[in-house]
Every structure is written in C-alpha cells, then in structure tokens.
Amino acid sequence: MRLTLPSSNDVPFQVSVASKSTGYYVALQHASRSGYKIKVTALDLAKGKQTGSQYTLNSDTEVFGPESILLVGRNAAAPLIAWTDKANTVLKINVLGSNTIESIKVEHEGVRHIKIHVSQSSSGPAHFLVEYRTDSASWADVYHINIKTTSITKAYSLPKIQGHSVITAGTNTNNENLYFTRITPTEVIIYSSVSDKAQGTWKTSEVLPEKSQNAVSEVVALESGVSVRFAQVEESGDWSLVLNGKLQWTRPESLTEAIAAAWTDLNDGVTLARELEVEGHQSVPMAYAHRLIRHLKAIQQGFPDWLMEMPMRVLTSFMPSDISDLIQFGLGQQIILATRTGRVAALDSGRHGKVMWNIKAVENDLDWGVKAITTQLGLATVHVDDGSTLQVNITTGEVTSRTPPTQKVASIAFVPDGAADFKVGVEEHGVPTESAYVNGIDAFLVTRSGDKRILGWNTSKSKAPMWEFTVPEGQKIIHATARPAHDPVASVGKVLGDRSVLYKYLNHNLALITATGESTVDFYLLDGVSGQILHTARYTNVDITQPIASVISENWFAYSFWADTSEVSAAKGYQLIVSELYESSTPNDRGVLGDAANYSSITNITMPHVISQAYMIPEAISNMAVTQTRQGISIRQLLCTLPASRSIVGIPRPILDPRRPVGRDPTAQKAEEGLMKYNPNLEFDPKWHLTHSRDVMGIQHVESSPTLLESTTLIFSYGFDIFGTRLAPSQPFDILDKGFSKIQLLLTVVALMAGVSALAPLARSKQVNLQWKSS
C-alpha cells in the first residue's frame, strides 16, 4: 500500500498505528514564532487514504524541534503525543484523535529527564506512567485515560527515592494489567497500574553492581504474586538478564571495539630476572645471603596461599574443573584490553575469558586513541596518541597513576633497553620524538611517513634518517609489517630427504611493505638497517578495494589479495602467496656467508634465494598472524581472519610449503620431508576453523602468546568482537592425554603394594624352607 499526502512545508515526524485500519501522521508545522505547532492527520490504513480528521495543536511555545517531543503513539488503546518545554517545567499530553491538550505541571525543580511508559498492546489498559529524574533523585506518577472522554486523571505516585533508578512497563500474558518494574542498584519492585501497593520486591545488591541505563521487562501474574525477568543495559554497556532478582547471564558488550591488547602473566619472571642480575654483581657470600633472604620472603608471602589452595589443587587433579590445572605452565595469562570508548579490562584466559575487572579509564570519550599497552611488574601502562599514559594495577584494576598529554604521536615503537623496553613516539610524518635521543640508546627504527615513504633511523646518531625508501609515482603504502618481537628459530636449516640442508635466510631486521596502485599491488622486502631491497613482487589487475593482508615470520612471508586474469596469470579470484627465503639455492651451500665469522646488514649484505608458490582460496583474508611458541620447535600455523564467513582459521605451515612438487607426485625423499603434491586450490578444512560454530565480526588484530609448554600457544583476536582460544599446532605432545587416569594409577600402585606386602612373608618362608632342605 502506498499513501500520498499533499505536499507542504511541514517537517515529517512520525506515523502512529492505532489499529489495523486507523493511523495518525504527525508533522511539525512552522509557527510565526521560533517554535513548531504539531499537526495531526488521521489515516485510513485499510484504504490508504486520508480521512477528514485533521487538527493542529498549539505547541509553538514548548516545541522547538523533534527533541522536544517525548512520545508518539505506542499505547494502541489510547495513543498519545506528549511534549515538554526546554526547562522541563510543564508536560503536555494529547490523546490522538482529539484536539484536547492536558497540561501537567512539574512540581519539582532541576528535572533533567522525563520519560513516559505506556502499554505496547492494543488490548492493554489505557494507563501510562511519567518518570522524572534529577541529578540525585527520581520519582514517577501513574495516570489513567478515559477512552470515551479522552480525559486524563492521576491515579497515584511512586515514592521518590534518592539515587539512580530505571522503570520499565509491560502487560501480563493476558494483557489485563499494566505492570511497572522499578530497578534500583539495591532492589527490584513491581507495581500495578491500578494499585500503589508493591506487587513484589527482590533484593539485588549482589546482582547489579553497576547502574542500569535502559531495561525491558516481562511480568507474569501468579497465584501467589508475580514473577519478573528483565534485560538491562548497564552503565558499562554490558547486557544482563535478571529473573526474580537472580542474575541469569551477562554479555560483556562494553568490550566491543577493542583497539589495543597485551598479554600478561601474574607470575612472570621479570622480578626474578632482576634479582638474579643483582646477585650476579655481588660476591659469592653476599649473593648467597641475598638468595636466602629472597627465598625466605617468598615462603612468607606465598606459603599461606599455597597451603589454602592445596585441597582444591588436589581435588581438581582428580575431578573435572572449570579452572585449568595447567595454569602453572603459563596457560592462565591475563589479557589487558582497551576499547575505543575509554574502558580498560582484564580477561583471564585460564577461566574461559572471565572478566576480572572492567573500569572506565576516561570520561566522555567516544574515540580514545590508544596506541599500545605494555605490562611490567604487575602494572599495565596504556599509551595514548596525545602522549599521555595511564597505569593500572593488573590484579585489582585500580588506576595507580596518570601522566598528562605531551605531544601528538601517530604510532609508538618500543626499543629493547636491558630488562625493559624504552618507548619511542613517532610523529605523523614518521619522525621519532625527542625521547628517542635523550637516553643515548643505540637502536634502529623503521617508521612510515605518510603513504609514500619508509624511513630508517639510528637513535644514537644524527636526527636525520639513515635511509629512505619511496614508492614509485602512482603507488601508496597501505601496510608495513615486521617480524614479531618473539620469533624464535629452532633450526637454522631445513633437512632434506637426502640428509642435505637448505640453510634459511635469517634476518631479524626484515620489513615487508605493501603498496598499491590503480590496479596493481607491489610487495617490497626491505632490510630494516640498510634500507636495501631484498625482494620485490608485482601483481596486476588487482582489486585494491578488497582486503590485502600480509605477514612475515622466521624465513618466510605470506600475503593475499584478489586479482583478475592477466597476461601473466589466468587465475581469477582470491590468492594466497607464500614465499620462503634461503641463503642459497644449492643444499649445503651458505654462499658468501659460509666462511663469515660475523654478519652485518650495513656491509656485505647478500640477496636471499626466494621460493614462492600461489594458491587460490575461497574467500578474502583481512588479517594475518603467526602462532608463537616458546622455543619455536612446534610447527607454525598461519592465522587468517575471514570476514565473509566470520571466522578465524589456522593453516598449518606444511600445507603452505612452497617446495611442494608441481604436476607430479612427490618422490620418496620428498615424501620423507612431508611434502605433498601441489594443488593450486586451497580449500579451508573445517578442522582449521579455530572459532568453530561461533561468528566473530570486525576482527582487526590477532595476537599469539607462547606458554611454558612448547606444544601450546594462546590466541586472542579483537576488534568489534573478541575471541580467544588455546592452540597446539603440533598436538599436545608434552601434556598427558585426557584419557590418563590418576585414580587408576593410584589404585594400581596400591594394588601392587598390597600384593607385595601379602607375598613377602610367603617368599621369606619359601627361602627358609629351601635352606633347611639343602642342609
């Protein structure tokens, strides 16, 4: 059905549906003054025509825009239109269909908020509630509407209470009565629209630690009273459902739009490393005394807690528990998370991502520019783009210190400086701030200057860049990535099937630059110290509006994009390219580095031998990361974010080995290396999906953290959604299988001890008898 109204200069506001056949079109009509009059037009929804009923309400002294109108329609039995003036001193109400205006004077001063709650059902009672709020108190009045005369009378008032409260309205299952649910930080009270007596009360001081901002409720009338459940949005942004005062579930929606995260272990070894460093500079007697005192202090601080946790530790070793018994191996790390809306939270990875604390770090900030989070000595430091920092206690969430803004930075880099990392701010054009030079640290930095240049700096020398890389005209840099800070290499070479070795090209200073043109994408592999180009690759007919992702680790790198057919390639679709770097193309040959005692990126730099292979993949990859383990012994997995399927996959590195034989089956030696025949189409195995059946949206970053178990790594992804899991790329080879039964082992030991105890006398008796016989 299409309904056309005569053209006018009125401002359309809303259409209210009173029944299946009747509706009202509400518009704001410019008055001679600066305000608006409210124009109401009756509509025949069945015929799609305007009826003859049309009237105008004199509201130009109160209505100065759409924000002045509080309510239109909703109560289908007697739809209303209500508005108030800017000072909230008078409330005016009109029952749609009549031209009568009821004025309600607001008796209290300082009212900041007025809200009207009505029934949503057409068969519900024609009652409504007006809620008033000031900065320190709230109260409400209940009104009844006479449908025949459209007159409004006050029924009763809800008590005025100090503090914050939220009121919701809803009918019962038979739509016979309208109930109002009043939610405060300490209790939930149910009122009926026909009686000022409370229908039910529940204490909620342990359930609602934060103020409720908005809520919706459902009330069921029982023989013994009423039952209520309500969903609410808390002050932090979290969602929760409460049934008769008992919390049913909570969704931490306040953690959406995460922009920075960092791993932290409450039992990290930073303090121990510093203590050992102190002992290393002392004499043997002093170092021994220092260590003895340290051990005694540790016993004094940790023994009571250890003793209290002993029963639970013993119990959980035999019985299933929500708490992992592998926390002592680093699987219970916490994640410190910062959101764009100004919140900082801690999640416990050992307890299925339980929120340990969640604080509002800054007030009234809808775009908090956090650039990085660092953790050290029990404190998490949040670094903001205006140069300010915020320190939070990791255990309690208490803000311990703040520093004021200093200088606007585009990014933040961290330079190793002994046991800690030194922070260096990078300005918009890629120039390090003055802090990079004040401490005399000798370090190399690679920064990005706009979308055209990459700059290399030495903080111990001139404040001018050491080298500069500029992309050709028509290209712009969209991404620059480097090897992860923790990227251990377990083997310097790859052993082939004939026992020869291909030596890996290992350079900790590699940087992979992605630049796009009008329909091209170029990938540049640079040495971060000298700025020399080690490898380049260009692809044409690329759709640069599609996601382009890249990653680099150890001696290999990968990237993905969408490309159409071209003169060089007949492939069309999403492509994933993997390249490996070696010192030489010949096994057992290290080239010019073979006899070199030392290596420098500044002099005598060598070009790597690059082996690449491309795969067609079913969908786009928006982000890439690589799993990290403690020693790098476990095979790595390429972690890819798939926005189309809303999932994250982990592709095993052997699947992406660019040395897979093309067009033929692998030989016995190749098969011994684990190589399989090359297949250009790479389908994502369902077993690779880390998110399983869960949908994750808006993932911007994926982080991997090693644990004390070489087989296991922790994965955490964040953006609009957050997701974390535990991953064992080479299977949990250093963990007992779940089928291992400690109870069965103990029973076996007890049975053996009982058998030995029972057979020992028999054995001794037999030996004595043999000695008598021999004599």
Tell me the per-residue pLDDT of 10-64, one tens digit each, with 9 for 90 and over.
788 888 877 777 888 888 888 766 788 888 888 888 777 887 778 888 888 888 8
Which of 563-572, 600-609, 701-710 has the least mean pLDDT? 600-609
Q: How far apart are the first and last CA of the chain?
A: 119
Judged by phi (left if over 0) then psi (alpha if -120 to 50, else beta), residue 549 lies in: beta
Q: Which residue has the tokens 């949908």?
A: 695
Least Cα distance to 512 among 549, 465, 466, 545 occurs for: 549
Round to whole Å and give the CA distance between 661 and 675. Answer: 8
Round to whole Å and give the CA distance between 424 and 439. Answer: 11
Q: Name which residue leads in pLDDT, 642 or 280.
A: 642
Question: Is the per-residue pLDDT at 267 higher than 80?
Answer: no
Q: pLDDT at position 320, please?
A: 55
Which range, 42-46, 353-357, 438-442, 559-563, has the best average confidence (pLDDT)?
559-563
Question: Is the per-residue pLDDT at 627 higher than 60?
Answer: yes
Percent of the chain at pLDDT > 90 equals: 34
Q: Name which residue leads in pLDDT, 310 or 528.
A: 528
Q: pLDDT at position 438, please?
A: 59
Report helix, strand or coil for 749.
Answer: helix
Note the maximum CA span of the chain.
136
Average pLDDT over residues 393-413: 89
Pairing mode of beta strands 722-727, 166-171: unpaired
Which of 97-101, 233-237, 386-390, 727-731 has the least mean pLDDT? 233-237
Amino acid at 274: R
Average pLDDT over residues 737-749: 82
Q: How far is CA 382 from the centre of its chain?
A: 16
Amino acid at 275: E
Q: pLDDT at position 648, please?
A: 96
Q: pLDDT at position 539, please?
A: 94
Q: Name which residue leads in pLDDT, 727 or 97.
A: 727
Average pLDDT over residues 361-374: 84
Round to whole Å and give the CA distance between 622 and 280. Answer: 48
User: Confidence class of residue 638 from pLDDT cuts 50, 70 and 90?
Assistant: very high
Percent of the chain at pLDDT > 70 equals: 89
Within 10 angstroms of residue 298's Cβ, the number of other Cβ atoms is 11
Q: pLDDT at position 432, please?
A: 85
Whether the Cβ atoms of residue 735 and residue 712 lie closer than 8 Å to each other = yes
Round to whole Å and give the CA distance between 165 and 134. Answer: 11
Q: pLDDT at position 675, please?
A: 92
Which of 98-107, 262-271, 687-696 has the least mean pLDDT? 262-271
Question: Is the per-residue pLDDT at 75 higher than 80?
Answer: no
77 contact partners, CB below 8 Å, separation of at least 6: 119, 121, 122, 123, 124, 125, 126, 145, 147
Which range, 21-35, 562-576, 595-609, has the best average confidence (pLDDT)?
562-576
Least Cα distance to 412 among 447, 378, 437 occurs for: 447
User: Confidence class of residue 714 from pLDDT cuts 50, 70 and 90?
Assistant: very high
DSSP 255: G
What does the domain layout of the chain look like in residue ranges? 1-163, 184-251, 268-318, 484-730, 741-775
Q: pLDDT at position 67, please?
A: 86
φ, ψ dihedrals at 293, nearest 5°:
-65, -40
User: Confidence class of residue 269 from pLDDT cuts 50, 70 and 90?
Assistant: low
DSSP 740: -
| DSSP string across 317-364 | HHS--SS-TTGGGTTT-EEEEEETTSEEEEEEGGGTTEEEEEEE-SSS
Q: pLDDT at position 365, please?
A: 67
Q: pLDDT at position 132, please?
A: 92
Round to whole Å and give the CA distance between 131 and 166. Answer: 9
User: Confidence class of residue 426 from pLDDT cuts 50, 70 and 90?
Assistant: confident
Q: pLDDT at position 540, please?
A: 93
Q: Name which residue leads in pLDDT, 551 or 291.
A: 551
Average pLDDT over residues 75-80: 74
Average pLDDT over all residues of the chain: 85
Average pLDDT over residues 592-601: 67
Q: pLDDT at position 683, please?
A: 94
Whether the Cβ atoms of residue 717 and residue 703 lie closer than 8 Å to each other = yes
Question: Is the per-residue pLDDT at 208 higher than 70?
Answer: no
Round to whole Å and give the CA distance between 200 and 693. Answer: 41
Q: pLDDT at position 65, please?
A: 83
User: Confidence class of residue 420 from pLDDT cuts 50, 70 and 90?
Assistant: low
Q: pLDDT at position 501, please?
A: 92
Q: pLDDT at position 603, please?
A: 67
Q: pLDDT at position 651, please?
A: 96
User: Confidence class of residue 175 from pLDDT cuts 50, 70 and 90?
Assistant: low
Amino acid at 517: G
Average pLDDT over residues 508-521: 93
Average pLDDT over residues 72-89: 82
User: Confidence class of residue 150 from pLDDT cuts 50, 70 and 90?
Assistant: confident
Q: Name which residue leads in pLDDT, 332 or 558.
A: 558
476's tokens: 């712009």
Q: pLDDT at position 752, please?
A: 94
The β-bridge partners of 527 are 510
Average pLDDT over residues 214-238: 83
Q: What is the pTM of this model?
A: 0.80
Q: How far is CA 698 from the centre of its chain?
A: 9
Average pLDDT over residues 352-363: 88
Question: Is the per-residue pLDDT at 3 higher than 60?
Answer: no
User: Confidence class of residue 6 from pLDDT cuts 50, 70 and 90?
Assistant: low
Round to whole Å and give the CA distance between 47 and 291. Answer: 91
Amino acid at 404: P
Least Cα distance to 171 among 131, 216, 238 occurs for: 216
Which range, 404-418, 452-466, 711-725, 731-745, has the best average confidence (pLDDT)?
711-725
